[in-house]
C-alpha cells in the first residue's frame, strides 16, 4: 500500500501511513504564477493499493486531488482510495433555490471518476455519502475530540444550537460529561440572549462543539454569554476549522479560553489527528 500525501493533508497522511505500516509518498506540488496546479508523484504506483490523502479546501486543493487520482489511474494503480478529511462543498447538499445545483453531488461525481472508494471525516450531512457511485465512508472524529476535551477537564458539552445536539451528546457520552444545547431567546427588537437550555454552567469548564467553525460568529456569541453566566472556562471544539475572517482572535476576544480543531484542515490549532479513525476503515477490512 502507498499513501500519497497531498499538499493540504501532509500531517494526516504521515500518521495514516504510519498506522497502516504503508509507504508514504510525499507528492511534489506547486502552483504556477497563473494559479495552475502542478503535481508530480515520485513513485511507481503500478498494481499498488493507492491511498490519496487530500482535503479539498480551498478550491485548487480539489483539483490537486483529481490530478493525484489521475496520476494513480494513469500509472495503473490496482485500487484507489480518496481520503478527503474535509470534503468542501458539503454545505451545498441540496437545491435551496430554483436553478441551483447540488454542488456536493457534482464534486462527488468528479472524485468518483477515478476512485474506487471515498472516505471523509464528519461530513456536514450524512446523505452526501449517497452522492458517490463508489463505496463511501464517513468516519467520526468526535471520539478523538472528546478524548482531548477529557484531558482538559471538560464537565459540560454544549451544542451551539439544537440541530447540532446529536454531536454534543455523542461527545458527552465519550467523555462521561453532561450535555445540552444553546437556546436563543429574543428579548426585544434585536436583543437576543443565548443560554444552555437546562443546565447551569456556573463554575464549570464548558466545551461548545460543532462540525465546522467557519467565521465562528455564533460560537463567539455563545462563549461570551457562557462567561457572563459564570462558566470558568470555555473551549470551542470542532472537526473542521475554517476560521474565516479572523475567527480565532475574535473567539478569544469573546471569552473562548481555547479553540481546538482536528487536522482534517491543518490549522495552527489542530492538535487532534484524524488518522486513527480513518485507519479503522482499512483495519476493519483486514481484520
Applying CB under 8 A, among 36, 126, 166, 183 the residue interacting with its own copies is 36
Question: 275: which 3 cell numbers?
Answer: 488518522
Task: Give residue 242's Cα distance to chain centre.
Answer: 9
Q: Which is nearer to its own copies, 8 or 205 (CB)?
A: 8
Question: 123: which 3 cell numbers?
Answer: 461530513
Q: Please choose, out of 104-112, 134-142, 161-169, 188-196, the segment that lies near its own copies by the rule CB under 8 A.
A: 104-112
Smallest gap from Cβ 179 to its own copies, in A, equals: 28
Applying CB under 8 A, among 57, 87, 132, 282 the residue interacting with its own copies is 57
User: What's the rounded Cα separation, in Å, for the pair 202 and 134?
Assistant: 49
Q: Which of 105, 125, 147, 184 is flagged as catalytic?
A: 184
Smallest gap from Cβ 80 to its own copies, in A, equals: 14
Q: Which is nearer to its own copies, 59 or 185 (CB)?
A: 59
If binding is defined by CB under 8 A, does position 23 make contact with its own copies? no
Q: Which is nearer to its own copies, 28 or 200 (CB)?
A: 28
Applying CB under 8 A, among 13, 20, 71, 277 the residue interacting with its own copies is 71
Q: Please choose, out of 87-95, 137-145, 159-167, 271-279, the segment that lies near its own copies by the rule CB under 8 A.
A: 87-95
If binding is defined by CB under 8 A, does position 97 make contact with its own copies? yes
If binding is defined by CB under 8 A, does position 200 make contact with its own copies? no
30 noted as active-site residue: no
With a CB cutoff of 8 Å and minimum separation 6, the contacts of 200 are: none
Applying CB under 8 A, among 60, 143, 153, 217 the residue interacting with its own copies is 60
Name the helix (H) or strand (E) containing 239: strand 233-241
Applying CB under 8 A, among 17, 50, 62, 139 the residue interacting with its own copies is 62
If binding is defined by CB under 8 A, does position 58 make contact with its own copies? yes
Residue 34 to residues 30, 31, 37, 59, 65, Cα–Cα distance (Å):
11, 8, 9, 15, 19
With a CB cutoff of 8 Å and minimum separation 6, the contacts of 188 are: none
With a CB cutoff of 8 Å and minimum separation 6, the contacts of 77 are: 45, 46, 47, 48, 49, 50
If binding is defined by CB under 8 A, does position 89 make contact with its own copies? yes
User: What's the rounded Cα separation, in Å, for the pair 171 and 22?
Assistant: 31
CA torsion 13→19→25→29, rounded to 10°? 10
If binding is defined by CB under 8 A, does position 63 make contact with its own copies? yes
Q: Which is nearer to its own copies, 106 or 283 (CB)?
A: 106
Residues 105, 106, 108, 112: is their CA dihedral positive or negative?
Answer: positive
- Do 240 and 247 meet the contact criterion of CB atoms below 8 Å apart? no
Interface mask toward its own copies for 213-252; x: CB under 8 A: -xx--------------------------x-xx-------
Q: Name the residues annotated as catalytic.
A: 184
Amino acid at each position: 500500500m502507498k499513501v500519497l500525501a497531498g499538499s493540504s493533508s501532509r500531517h494526516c497522511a504521515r500518521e495514516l501511513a504510519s498506522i497502516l505500516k504503508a509507504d508514504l509518498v510525499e507528492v511534489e506540488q506547486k502552483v504556477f504564477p497563473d494559479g495552475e496546479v502542478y503535481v508530480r508523484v515520485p513513485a511507481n504506483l503500478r498494481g499498488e493499493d493507492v491511498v490519496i490523502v487530500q482535503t479539498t479546501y480551498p478550491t485548487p486543493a480539489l483539483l490537486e486531488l483529481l490530478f493525484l487520482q489521475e496520476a494513480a489511474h494513469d500509472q495503473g494503480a490496482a485500487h484507489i482510495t480518496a481520503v478527503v478529511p474535509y470534503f468542501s462543498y458539503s454545505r451545498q447538499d441540496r437545491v435551496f433555490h430554483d436553478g441551483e445545483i447540488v454542488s456536493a453531488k457534482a464534486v462527488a461525481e468528479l472524485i468518483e471518476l477515478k476512485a474506487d472508494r471515498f472516505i471523509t471525516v464528519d461530513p456536514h450531512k450524512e446523505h452526501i455519502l449517497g452522492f458517490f457511485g463508489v463505496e463511501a465512508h464517513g468516519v467520526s472524529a468526535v471520539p478523538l475530540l472528546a478524548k482531548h476535551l477529557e484531558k482538559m477537564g471538560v464537565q459540560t458539552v454544549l451544542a451551539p444550537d439544537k440541530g447540532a445536539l446529536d454531536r454534543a451528546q455523542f461527545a458527552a457520552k465519550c467523555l462521561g460529561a453532561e450535555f445540552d444545547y444553546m437556546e436563543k431567546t429574543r428579548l426585544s427588537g434585536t436583543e437576543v440572549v443565548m443560554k444552555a437550555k437546562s443546565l447551569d454552567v456556573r463554575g464549570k469548564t464548558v466545551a461548545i462543539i460543532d462540525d465546522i467553525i467557519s467565521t465562528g460568529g455564533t460560537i463567539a456569541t455563545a462563549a461570551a454569554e457562557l462567561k457572563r453566566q459564570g462558566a470558568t472556562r470555555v473551549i470551542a471544539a470542532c472537526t473542521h476549522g475554517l476560521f474565516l475572517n479572523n475567527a480565532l482572535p475574535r473567539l478569544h476576544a469573546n471569552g473562548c479560553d481555547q479553540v481546538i480543531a482536528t487536522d482534517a484542515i491543518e490549522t495552527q490549532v489542530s492538535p487532534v489527528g484524524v488518522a486513527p479513525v480513518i485507519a479503522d476503515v482499512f483495519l476493519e477490512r483486514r481484520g
